[in-house]
Amino acid sequence: MGLLGWVVFLFALCLSIMLHETGHFVAAKKFGMKVTRYFLGFGPTLWSIRRGETEYGVKPILLGGFCKIVGMHSMDELDDPDDEPRSFRSKPAWQRIIVLYAGIAANIVLAFVLVAGMALAIGIVNDNTTQLGTVTTCVAANTQDLDNGTCGGSKTPSPAMAAGLKVGDTVVAFDGKPVSNWTELGNVIKDAKPGSAVSVTVRRNGQLKTLHTKLAQIPGRSGGYMGIAPITAFQIASPLGAVKYAGSFFGEVLSGTGQALANIPAAIPKLFSSQRSTSSGAQLGSVVAFGQETSQAVAADVGWRSKVEVVLLLAAELNLILGLGNILPLMPLDGGLAAVVMFEGVRSWLARLRGRPDPGLVDIRKLAPVMVSLFMIVAVFSVIVMLADVFNPLNLGQ
């Protein structure tokens, strides 16, 4: 099942990349630009076919793709000078900007469709309930085993198992404190001292029952540990509810990503340490992290709705980050090319105000060193994060 998860992830990644390139492709064709190549992946060509003026193909490194539009900038030489009227650089600035942002828009639209569609078809998870859906059998040996749902060689019964809690029980009070949702219950458990004796009052078959146990502790995890999880219920959303849910999801992803980006400098030393999961900046993940999470979701011992929910949300997050990441004004990203087009437009407008001739295209050779240097910094950091995902995977378990 883990291998199947990676296959699902690679399919989602390829779909996201090619949808991005399709956005560029369709917009370029719409404005009469000449598109000579439309490829998935990088490296040597594995397979290709020509249809009309465009070659379609696949390359082995499935970490990107490209749509080759002739004459993208001033240094781009044309194989056929007669193609100049159909080149990217010969078109009005507004058309070029639309072509550049069409790929970004395609990813954002797909992310929205995935999240809203999931809410309409599968439903929105409601796990903020005190009804138990899981009662673990043991106290995991460490946080990694806890995240994987295994005992890790531990034979110590979980406090929940020792107390006699059962799936379907609804917890109404913990150690005498009434609780009405999982957030409240989770907080009082974490605030309790490991090893302390506690009481748990549950409603079972319509009757209240008070059970007793001692909280455990898992190395590397603060607070007490009980060994329970809420039941997962799915509620089908209305069309308006689906839109609101998608908007909320977008806000959470953007807020979390922005906070992580702001904390990157201080987090770099923690990428390969045990503190990675507690540092916002170090929680940034590469495509490897997305693959790992998708694999774990597919292999998890949960219902199909829960699997599909996690996979769709991960795919939506991937598309959102892929789309918005391309807005960055770094060559050769779409945002970098768009920044050049915008600069050319402003410069031309100022020239007209002064009654001077249009200065034309920017000499990309003057801008390229700075933009490429910035892009290389981002690329090197991306590789470092990828290595961290391989050798020190994120551990965000509660």
Q: Residue 190 class from Cβ within 10 Å (0-12 exposed, 13-18 middle, 19+ buried)? A: middle
Flag the least confident range among 146-155, 224-233, 358-367. 146-155
**pLDDT tens, 55-110?**
999 999 887 889 999 998 878 889 899 999 999 999 999 999 999 999 999 999 99
CA 75 from chain centre, in angstroms, equals 35
**pLDDT tens, 340-363?**
899 988 999 999 999 999 888 888
Question: In the block, which residue shows the tokens 């904390």?
Answer: 263
Question: Average per-residue pLDDT in the chain?
Answer: 88
Ordered domains of the chain (ranges, CATH): 1-123+239-398 (no CATH), 132-231 (2.30.42.10)
State residue 1's pLDDT score. Answer: 57
**pLDDT tens, 185-222?**
988 998 888 889 999 999 999 999 999 999 998 887 77
State residue 70's pLDDT score. Answer: 95
Mean pLDDT of 120-145: 86
State residue 149's pLDDT score. Answer: 72
Distance CA 340, CA 335 (A): 9
- The more confident residue out of 267 and 316 is 316
State residue 240's pLDDT score. Answer: 96
- Please tell me the pTM assigned to this model: 0.76
State residue 397's pLDDT score. Answer: 39
Task: Answer whether residue 312 shows pLDDT above 90.
Answer: yes
Mean pLDDT of 8-29: 93
Distance CA 52, CA 74 (A): 26
- Confirm if 257 and 283 have CB atoms less than 8 A apart: no
- The more confident residue out of 350 and 265 is 350
Task: Answer whether residue 52 shows pLDDT above 50.
Answer: yes
Tell me the pLDDT band of 140, cut-offs 50, 70 and 90. confident
State residue 398's pLDDT score. Answer: 35
Distance CA 294, CA 282 (A): 20
DSSP 8-state assignment for residue 157: B
State residue 282's pLDDT score. Answer: 62
